[in-house]
Amino acid sequence: MKIQETSIPDLLLIEPQVFGDERGFFMEGWNTEKYANEGLKADFVQDNLSSSQKGVLRGLHYQNPQGQGKLVSVLNGTVFDVAVDIRANSATFGKWEGFILSEENKKQLYIPEGFAHGFLVLSEKALFFYKCTKFYAPQYETTIIWNDPSIGIEWPLNDIKPILSDKDKKGQLLANINKTKLA
C-alpha cells in the first residue's frame, strides 16, 4: 500500500494494494498490523455505510468531545471528500483538503480526530463506507456550514445543486463556534 501525506499533518491519502484480473479484484480494506507498520495506528469501534444520490452533500461534521478518527472509502460511485483541520492549536487550522474517492481508484482517506468531514456525491449514486475510532455521539456533534467563506472549499459543483439535510442547512460558520467546542 502507499500512504501519502497531505499538506495538512496527520491527514493521509491511502492507496491500498489491489490484486485484479479478468474476474475482478481483491484488496484488504483494513489490516491492523499492516497499517500500523505504515504508521497508521487506529482502533476502530464502529463501521458506517451510507447511500446517497448525485448532488447529496453531507457535512461538515465533527464531534467534540469524543472526536472520531475516520477511514473513509467509496464502494460504489464517486465522491469529492473533504476534511477541514479544526484543531484549535494547529498551524493549519481552518485549512481543507479535498480528494476524489471512487470505486475505480479505491483510495481511502484517513481523517484523524480534530477534523470536520464532508462529501459531495458526483456519480448517480454512491455507497460510502467509513470506519470510526469512537462511537457516534449526537450530543457532541457540531456541523460547520458546507460553504463557509472563511474555509473556502472549492466544491466541484458544476451544474449540481447540493442536496442538504436540515441539519447541514443549519450549519454554523467556523468563526461562530465556541473555541471549547473545537478539537
CA distances from 129 to 50, 77, 137, 174 (A): 7, 11, 18, 26
Annotated catalytic residue within 35, 62, 110, 130: 130
Please state, in angstroms and rounded to a whole number, the distance separating the CA atoms of residues 80 and 97.
Answer: 10
C-alpha 38/C-alpha 136 separation (Å) is 27
Nearest to 82, CA basis, from 68, 67, 97, 71: 97
Q: Which of 61, 62, 110, 117 is catalytic?
A: 61
Report CA-CA distances (Å) from 82 to 68, 91, 101, 180. Answer: 15, 18, 10, 23
Active-site annotation holds for 61? yes
Q: Using CA atoms, how far apart are residues 72 and 108, in angstroms rounded to an integer? A: 6
C-alpha cell at 69: 478518527
- Which residues form the catalytic set? 61, 130
